[in-house]
Amino acid sequence: MLPWLKSPLQQLAERKLSNKLHHALLMQGPQGLGKSEFAQQLSAILLCNNLQGIRPCENCHSCHLHKAGSHPDKHEVRSEKQIGVDQIRDAIKKLSGSAQLSGAKVLIIYQAHSMTESSANALLKTLEEPTANTYIVMLSHKAQQLLPTILSRCEKLALPLPTLEQAKAWLQVHWPEKIDERLIAMYQHSPLSLLAELGEEQSVGFTDFTSGIDALIKGQLDPVTLATNWQPEAEKLVRWLQFWLAKQVQELGEFNDKLWSLQQRCISAQKILRNAGANKILIFSSLLNELTQLNKQ
């Protein structure tokens, strides 16, 4: 289990044991925090037929099926873009019968904020009148986008964020090479995203990034040249720039609205960069240009 999520998981397990667990839970936290892992562990606890204290036994039929990913009472809804109404209706239908293994039924909805309005409305009735022993676990890093009617019908749980030390220790176990501490600090709340990123082939590493930004600020490199060099990994590098700016805002001690708004622009730029036809150099160089302007003031 991820060390920073251990204690909320234990609390939920204890509430399940004393029959005080809400049937609809909304887990909130940034991407890369470990919400999916948390939901998986929680569903193992909810479905186990022979809990050992607050842990799944890992030996019962239910635990075996859960581990194999084929538990008939565990359902999941996810989508790359939007969660359509048919997906929700289908999931509700599966929940409506009695449990096949005579235990609980669990539905996990990943990125719950990507439910369309009709999907959310289709889910409402089930949230209001759940069938017995049914748990709906929703995950979201943008919970504010969920309909108020959904929000008011579930228990909201803001998952704790790892400390820098926890993130560092966890990454050390999972990644054999040394990681730049500044990079870990930037990803402190999203260590799983950093681990995934490290596993990808990288043409521009973190040292290239920091030295590039440094040269840009000193006027030794111009935004277009840098954007051209970084174009093949534009999406990742704009994300780094966003995290780097957020860190600067944090370290300044006082709120800087220009740094903040550039940071926000980096978030929107990442979305645009995902489109195949996006002009990467133009988008990236305009962000870098704005960064040089900030420093002149």
Closest CB to Zn ion among residues 57, 151: 57
Nearest approach in angstroms of CB 135 to Zn ion is 16
Which positions from 123 to 152 touch Zn ion by CB under 5 A, shown as an x/- string?
A: ------------------------------
Kindly state the smallest distance separating residue 1's Cβ from Zn ion, in Å: 16
Nearer to Zn ion, 33 or 99 (CB): 99
- Distance CA(262)–CA(256), nearest Å, equals 10
Among 54, 60, 215, 224, binds Zn ion (CB under 5 A): 60
Q: How far is the CB of 43 from Zn ion (least distance, A)?
A: 12
By the 8 A CB rule, do 185 and 165 touch? no
CA atoms of 77 and 91, how far apart (whole Å):
7
Sole binder of Zn ion in the list 9, 48, 112, 137 (CB under 5 A): 48
The answer to the question of residue 45 lying near Zn ion (CB under 5 A) is: no
Helix (H, G, I), strand (E, B) or coil at 134: strand
CB of 25 to Zn ion, least distance (A): 21
| Nearest partner of 49 among 100, 107, 101, judged by Cα | 101
How crowded is residue 262: how many other Cβ atoms within 10 Å of its Cβ? 20
The one among 54, 55, 57, 182 contacting Zn ion by CB under 5 A: 57
Residue with tokens 């957020």: 246
The closest alpha carbon to 133, from 100, 87, 156, belongs to 100
Least distance in Å: CB of 6 to Zn ion? 19
Applying CB under 5 A, the site for Zn ion has a residue count of: 6
| 229: three-class secondary structure by DSSP | helix
How far is it, in rounded angstroms, from Cα 107 to Cα 24?
Answer: 10
Is residue 42 close enough to count as binding Zn ion by CB under 5 A? Answer: no
Minimum distance of Zn ion from residue 13's CB (angstroms): 13
* Span 73-112, contacts to Zn ion by CB under 5 A: none
Beta strands 24-28 and 155-158 are: parallel
CB of 51 to Zn ion, least distance (A): 7
Return the number of the residue (56 or 212) whose C-beta is nearest Zn ion: 56
Q: What is the Cα–Cα distance from 93 to 112, expressed in whole angstroms?
A: 18
Q: Nearest to residue 206, comparing CAs of 184, 235, 188, 229?
A: 184
- Asked if 179 interacts with Zn ion (CB under 5 A), we say no
Question: Site map for Zn ion, 61-80, x if CB under 5 A?
Answer: --x-----------------
Spatial distance between the Cα atoms of 67 and 210, rounded to a whole number of angstroms: 42
Select 10 or 292, whichever has its Cβ closest to Zn ion: 10
Specify whether the CB–CB gap between 92 and 126 falls below 8 A.
yes
Summarize as ranges the residues that interact with Zn ion (CB under 5 A).
48, 50, 56-57, 60, 63
